[in-house]
Amino acid sequence: MQFRNVGVCRQAVAQTALVGVIFANHAWAVPVAPQTKPFKVLDPQSWANPDNMTWADYKTPPGTSWNDPSRKGSERNFNIALVAVDYSDKPFVITQQPNTTVFGNPLSAKYGLDRSEVPAFFRDFLNTPNDLNHNHTLHEYWMEDSGGRFGVDLTAFGAYLLPSLSYQYGVDDEQGGFNEGACPSEGPCSIDLRTDALGAWRADVGNETADSFELVFILSAGQDESSTWQEFGEMKFQGPEDVPDDFGPPNDDELPNYAQTRYVNWTSWQAASVIWPNAGGGSSTQAESSGMSTYAHELTHLLGIGDNYNNPYSDPPRRSYTGPWSMLSRGSFNGPGGPHTRWQIPATQGGSLGSLHTMGDKMRIGLVANSSVLMVSREALSSSGPVVAEITARCINPGEDELMGLHVIMGEDLSPACNTSTDALCDGGGYNNYDIEVIDRMGADSFTPDSGVMISKTKDVDNAPFQWTIDANPQDIDVVDFYRPDGTPSALTIGDYRQLADALFHAGTNSGSEFEYIDEANGLHFYIVDIRRDDVGILHYTVGVRSLDGSGSSTYGIELEEGQVAEGPLAKATDNGVTCAFQMTNSGAFTATESGVQHPQDMSAFLTSDIYRLSAEVDGNGWRVELPNALATAKFGETAMVNVAVGATIEAVGNAVVKLTITSESDPPTLIRAQACLTFSHWSIHEMTIKVTEEQSATPIPRTMLGSGNKFDPNTDIPDLSGKVFVITGGSAGIGYGISAHILQHGASKLYLLGKKEEHLAEAQEELKKYGDVSRVEFVQIELEDLHHTDKVAKDLASKIDRLDALVLNAGLGVGKYNETKDGLDSHMQVNVISQHHLARILLPKLVATPDSRLCFQSSEVHRMGTSGVEFRSLEEINKDIGPAHLYGRTKLAQLLLCQAFHRRKLHGELGLVSGTSPWINATHPGGVGTDQPDQAEEAYGGVRQLLMKAVRPFMKDPIDDGCRPMLFAATSDAVAEEKIDGQYIVPDRKVTDTSSQAKDEQLQENCWNLVEGILKQKLDRVSKIGGGLNT
């Protein structure tokens, strides 16, 4: 099997000569549309790392209230008992004070309960909407997953004190067990938790009451091993011998402080000594750290389906089966904060809201009606022709005329054999079907990594792997999982479930994914034809499947009308480009096949379309064309619109020819061609040629400037900022004050203005009243020369804001004398660079979670001056007095280096950043501005230099009217997102320009990044406190 573009026989070719814009005597007319973005990607893949998700990522399915406890399942409400048990050596963690246990639990979200309150607390935490569970419940999960068929009733019992010690139930030391050799001398271990827990419960309530429940959840005091072994094993300790006594066995036992665990050969003994959740015999076991999705996962087992996950750390390695997309795989790990937060008590992060069941699993246990799934026969496809259908996201209960997906029945898997011992990507063979379903980041799927189409192979029996996701990006995703105690990065293993974060298929071209999949051995070709998100926000895809062995009895034909410009005759190809719209007609005729193998259900509504492949090219220097979508479909006898994006540079020749080719994917016996010709002019190109001044003519104009010039007037060019939130450092004076004034003037809903001097903050509060309602401004005193104070302010901000549209790192000491801070650092580097970098790292998740956000660095042209020999290799280097100008210039270079280092991590998908999307990360140069920084320079210099500083003052810009323009452009302008200005250096007003060779030096960028990160780690012990690049 492979991904490839397939050329087949049916073609319609349109040659479009770009000469003339007025269209007369057309057989059809395209509705004139406003100037749009023809080159915009139709369905871009934008996968998210679970580590960087927050509760803000949750989206409620439109028109639903599945968490309403008064609603019951239309077919069944599970009647489940919750039996809470604890031990003489381990009370319930939730009854203790914060950070009491060796694992640092409980967290401050909930603690100090009376033992008698514990059963009711966990009942409500799991199944009653409240603030702590963010109003998400087990009942809600199953109601949504089943479209209202299944609900959950939960009744709490206990607490019961069990007769043995906690580790005697937790340590599985039997031969072949998870923790062989880990039982202390005060044994025995591997005692059956179910026997004692259910026995205590039945003795209390009696058999009649106990038998009235269908299922039992046993809640064990403490951690569970699944959520704890890695965080308190290899992530916390460099090696097994580094595990301290606190994490070792009790009573100074002779056992080592480490023990074997399920997937690897060691973790801390304490992590290995707790239970591993499991299900069987009508009951399941969980612990206090087990999130709600653990209960959903184990309940699925009680309905008769096994696990569908691999060992992520196996040798030889084996790829994850269905990863984050399936509740029976690692979808049970889903939730904000990612898998490495699953150890927390109470469990409000990773594991708190798992993915929905896959369509195949839904069919197995009755969560979806068979009428909502289109049953297709592989054998019948060769005689029926292709199947085309629109399917709806699986988080939506399909309406009467809607489909959840396609189930293609193969019977026998004809794929050639592969060896799972030598090929980590080998699926193992033996599959019976293909499933096609839509996953949207909505409802219980909100914490899956992406929205798109999942294609998977499935088996009729749950012999793992019984479902195998086809990975649209099978290459190593190359993401750091965590950093070991010595700072060494540990990448995701090939078997890690997050390798499938980019597995979904997407419609259209240039998405970062694929829009088709071919299984040649099984004679099947799958298509993602189009995407549609309806008016209420529900996601739909048009998909198709055809046989490679035949296309039935239908006749196939194509007619193509002359194209037209969708934006009308005044559109400009040299702006955003134009859309050439072509009307295509399927001129073939459908013929039903009466004999031979038939599909399992009536397919007549889905067999009357053909699938087409498009290609376009242009003949004319300076012109370009792209197809937003390389596929199209139309029913027999009906028409469809096909769009081609066309653009021209200002140097383009006066006319050009666009050739559009449409090829039928079906395979009738004769070749059919259709041609259409469209002529239109060079778009009066002289009208949009930029006036190039004599000064500009020697330098090529950056593409990002075409059509707009280099002017940016903040009074007229800043868009409406209603609803947006900004954080600005150094915002109380100088350039920062100018930035703050304009942002307030344009309606920002919240502005956090950070400054050092209280008198400046007070003055700013008074002065800003001229520009808007200062009740929308929060004035925050921050001491950037004190890392611990900076850390506190940053974390306070992070805790109170849900979104962040722009972080403007503007604060800075100017040219001044060398001085060391209380942290023992050069004050210029600490204020201008290190402290603000820490602020950026703390607030980065807020930027990532906010659409069209900005991360802006205030640099300067001074970065080019006096920085030779700078290497950023050691603390000693930056704490050397190199003179006022060089101290300042070094920090401006560092800001550019860190800007580029952030951007490169974005290109690599690190820190939760996604290439091609916000936050847009740029640095700016304000120009010479009249702030208080020249005062610092005059103080630092004497003699002639002091006179020179005074001499240039009259030529400096006003900070409010002029000096803030590049930063305001970077932080607010729509053009930044539209033109994808990212990782750039912007000079007055909005010109993207080149930096010094030093600023472009990737090794120097990494040196600076590593030095700053290392200093923060040393000074703040930042490991484990923030994610993405330190310890996730």
Q: Per-residue pLDDT tens for 227-271?
A: 999 999 999 999 999 999 999 999 877 899 999 999 999 999 999
pTM: 0.68
Mean model confidence pLDDT for the chain: 87
Residues 620 and 507 both lie in one domain = no
Q: How confident is the model at residue 571 (pLDDT cuts 50, 70, 90)?
A: low
Distance CA 860, CA 872 (A): 18
Closest by CA to 679, choosing from 700, 710, 658, 698, is 658
888 catalytically annotated: yes
Closest by CA to 352, choosing from 50, 73, 95, is 50
Cis preceding-peptide flag for 316 (omega within 30 of 0): yes
The string of pLDDT tens digits covering residues 461-485 is 999 999 999 999 999 999 999 999 9
Distance CA 234, CA 717 (A): 52
853 is in which domain, residue-wise? 725-927+981-1020
Query: Is the alpha carbon torsion for 1010, 1013, 1018, 1019 positive or negative?
Result: positive
Catalytic residue among 888, 906, 941, 957: 888
**Residue 293 and residue 281 in contact, taking contact as beta carbons nearer than 8 Å:** no
Residues 508 and 580 both lie in one domain = no
- pLDDT(641) > 70: yes
110 within some domain: yes
Q: What was the pLDDT predicted at 1004?
A: 95
Question: Please, what is the Cα angle at 215 between 214 and 217, to 5 degrees?
Answer: 155
**Residue 85 and residue 219 in contact, taking contact as beta carbons nearer than 8 Å:** yes
Residues 6+ apart with CB under 8 A from 552: 382, 383, 384, 385, 591, 593, 607, 666
Closest by CA to 819, choosing from 945, 936, 944, is 936
Residues 509 and 617 both lie in one domain = no
Question: Please, what is the Cα angle at 900 between 894 and 905, to 5 degrees?
Answer: 125
Residues 296 and 387 both lie in one domain = no
**321-334 mean pLDDT:** 98
3-state secondary structure of 199: helix
* Amino acid sitting at position 132: L
Question: Please, what is the Cα angle at 241 between 237 and 247, to 5 degrees?
Answer: 60
Max mean pLDDT among 450-464, 873-887, 990-1004 falls in 450-464
C-alpha atoms less than 13 angstroms from C-alpha of 593 in its C-beta half-sphere: 22
* Amino acid sitting at position 435: D
Q: What was the pLDDT predicted at 36?
A: 67
Tokens of 725: 């939130």
Q: What was the pLDDT predicted at 26?
A: 40
Q: How confident is the model at residue 938 (pLDDT cuts 50, 70, 90)?
A: very low
Q: What was the pLDDT predicted at 635?
A: 96
DSSP 206-232: -HHHHHT-SEEEEEESS-BGGGTTTTT
263 catalytically annotated: no
**Residue 708 and residue 47 in contact, taking contact as beta carbons nearer than 8 Å:** no
**Residue 457, burial from CB neighbour count under 10 angstroms (0-12, 13-18, 19+):** buried
Distance CA 701, CA 649 (A): 11
**Residue 887 and residue 816 in contact, taking contact as beta carbons nearer than 8 Å:** yes
Residues 575 and 639 both lie in one domain = yes
Q: What was the pLDDT predicted at 565?
A: 76
Distance CA 651, CA 624 (A): 12
Tokens of 706: 């075409």
Cis preceding-peptide flag for 989 (omega within 30 of 0): yes
The string of pLDDT tens digits covering residues 492-514 is 999 999 999 999 999 999 999 99
Phi, psi dihedral angles at 760 (to 5 degrees): -70, -40
Distance CA 541, CA 438 (A): 7
- pLDDT(162) > 50: yes
The string of pLDDT tens digits covering residues 11-48 is 555 444 443 232 333 444 554 444 468 999 999 999 99
Catalytic residue among 892, 906, 957, 991: 892
Higher pLDDT, 634 or 253: 634
**Residue 101 and residue 177 in contact, taking contact as beta carbons nearer than 8 Å:** no
Closest by CA to 498, choosing from 1029, 909, 59, is 909
Residue 854 Cα distances to 129, 844, 899, 980, angstroms: 35, 10, 12, 11
Buried b / exposed e over 326-365, threshold 16 CB at 10 Å, is bbbbbbbbbbbbbbbbbbbbbbbbbbbbbbbbbbbbbbbe
936 within some domain: no
Buried b / exposed e over 608-646, threshold 16 CB at 10 Å, is bbbbbbbbbebebebbbbbbbbbbbbbbbeeebebbbbb
The string of pLDDT tens digits covering residues 706-719 is 223 468 889 889 99
Closest by CA to 340, choosing from 267, 487, 258, 236, is 236
The string of pLDDT tens digits covering residues 728-771 is 999 888 899 999 999 999 999 999 999 998 888 889 899 999 88
Tokens of 64: 């639903």
Q: How confident is the model at residue 656 (pLDDT cuts 50, 70, 90)?
A: confident
Tokens of 690: 């930029």
HEC-encoded secondary structure of 128-190: CCCCCCCCCCHHHHHHHHHCCCEEEEEEEEEEEECCCCHHHHHCCCCCCCCCCCCCCCCCCCC
Distance CA 549, CA 543 (A): 19
Distance CA 848, CA 383 (A): 49
* Amino acid sitting at position 374: L
Ranges 7-16, 682-691, 835-844: which has the least confidence? 682-691
Closest by CA to 752, choosing from 842, 859, 851, 848, is 842
Neighbours of 261 (CB within 10 A): 24
**Residue 24, burial from CB neighbour count under 10 angstroms (0-12, 13-18, 19+):** exposed
Residues 560 and 534 both lie in one domain = no
* Amino acid sitting at position 823: D
DSSP 570-618: T--TTTT-EEEEEEEEE--B-----SS---SS--GGGSSEEEEEEEEEE
Residue 431 Cα distances to 192, 360, 412, 416, angstroms: 36, 13, 7, 12
**Residue 38 and residue 646 in contact, taking contact as beta carbons nearer than 8 Å:** yes
Q: What is the tally of structural domains in the chain?
A: 4
Give the N- to C-terminal CA distance of the chain in Å, as an integer.
Answer: 36
The CATH number of the domain holding residue 632 is 2.60.40.10
* Amino acid sitting at position 39: F
Neighbours of 489 (CB within 10 A): 12
- pLDDT(823) > 70: yes
The string of pLDDT tens digits covering residues 893-921 is 999 999 999 999 998 889 999 888 899 99
Residues 859 and 998 both lie in one domain = yes
**639-649 mean pLDDT:** 90
The string of pLDDT tens digits covering residues 940-968 is 444 433 433 343 333 334 445 667 999 99
Q: What was the pLDDT predicted at 579?
A: 87
**Beta strands 480-483 and 489-491, pairing class:** antiparallel
Residues 6+ apart with CB under 8 A from 850: 725, 803, 804, 805, 918, 919
Residues 527 and 583 both lie in one domain = no
176 within some domain: yes
Q: How confident is the model at residue 621 (pLDDT cuts 50, 70, 90)?
A: confident
Residues 434 and 568 both lie in one domain = no
Residues 6+ apart with CB under 8 A from 413: 429, 430, 431, 432, 457, 522
- pLDDT(695) > 60: no
User: Which of 304, 339, 359 is a domain's end point?
Assistant: 304
Q: How confident is the model at residue 650 (pLDDT cuts 50, 70, 90)?
A: confident
DSSP 20-57: -----S-SS-PPP--S--TTS-SS------GGG--GGG
Residue 526 Cα distances to 11, 522, 546, 636, 794, angstroms: 20, 12, 7, 20, 49
720 within some domain: no
Residues 663 and 742 both lie in one domain = no
Torsion on CA atoms 737, 739, 741, 742, rounded to nearest 10? 170
Residues 504 and 400 both lie in one domain = yes
Q: What was the pLDDT predicted at 151?
A: 97
User: Which of 248, 272, 304 is a domain's end point?
Assistant: 304
38 within some domain: no
3-state secondary structure of 457: strand
Residues 511 and 563 both lie in one domain = no
937 within some domain: no
Tokens of 390: 């629109």
Distance CA 204, CA 362 (A): 37
- pLDDT(288) > 60: yes
28 within some domain: no
764 within some domain: yes
The CATH number of the domain holding residue 773 is 3.40.50.720
Residue 38 Cα distances to 350, 568, 581, 881, angstroms: 39, 13, 11, 54
